[in-house]
């Protein structure tokens, strides 16, 4: 079973994401900021993929990504960074920091499915 970690400070976005991931039959974990997400990854070092928001309190998405990529995990998860359309500079930074793909917000089931197929999760 695919283990998916949803990281977003918006409860609504996490709820929408969870509904989509449930349909795909994934095991879903949630975190509300980067530090919370690092805790989840330490508890579940076999997370397969992360859907990662950028703007969050405590620790943002980019700082989480950098911390994640420096962890000695058996297998690094696939990371899909969430963005808004005018956020492409940020996305380039995220790709340089080790993101695998990006997803435009607000995301839909179709968009998420397409991206998961691109990265080989679905
Ligand atoms: Mg946010």
Centre of ligand 1 to C-alpha 45, Å, is 24
**Cβ(78)–Cβ(100) below 8 Å:** yes
User: 41-51, pLDDT tens digit by residue?
Assistant: 999 999 999 99
Mapped to the 3 state alphabet, what secondary structure does 77-96 carry?
Answer: CEEEEEECCCCHHHHHHHHH
Pick the CATH number of 3-118 from 1.10.287.3510, 3.10.20.30, 2.170.260.10, 3.40.50.2300: 3.40.50.2300
Kindly list the domain boundaries of the chain, sorted by start residue.
Answer: 3-118
The radius of gyration of the chain's CA atoms, rounded to the nearest angstrom, is: 13
pTM of the shown model: 0.96
What's the 108 CA to ligand 1 centre distance in angstroms?
Answer: 17
Whether the CB-CB separation of 104 and 83 falls below 8 Å is answered with yes
User: Which residues place a Cβ less than 5 A from the ion ligand 1?
Assistant: 9, 53, 55-56
pLDDT string in tens for the chain (122-residue length):
999 999 999 999 999 999 999 999 999 999 999 999 999 999 999 999 999 999 999 999 999 999 999 999 999 999 999 988 778 888 899 999 999 999 988 899 999 999 999 999 99
């Amino acid at each position: 079973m695919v283990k998916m970690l949803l990281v977003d400070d918006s409860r609504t976005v996490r709820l929408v994401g969870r509904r989509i991931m449930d349909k795909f039959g994934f095991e879903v974990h949630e975190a509300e900021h980067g530090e919370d997400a690092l805790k989840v990854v330490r508890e579940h070092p076999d997370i397969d993929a992360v859907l990662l928001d950028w703007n969050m309190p405590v620790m943002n998405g980019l700082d989480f990504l950098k911390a994640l990529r420096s962890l000695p995990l058996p297998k690094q998860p696939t990371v899909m960074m969430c963005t808004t359309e005018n956020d492409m500079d940020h996305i380039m930074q995220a790709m340089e920091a080790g993101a695998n793909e990006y997803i435009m917000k607000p995301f839909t089931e179709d968009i998420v499915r397409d991206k998961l197929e691109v990265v080989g999760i679905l």
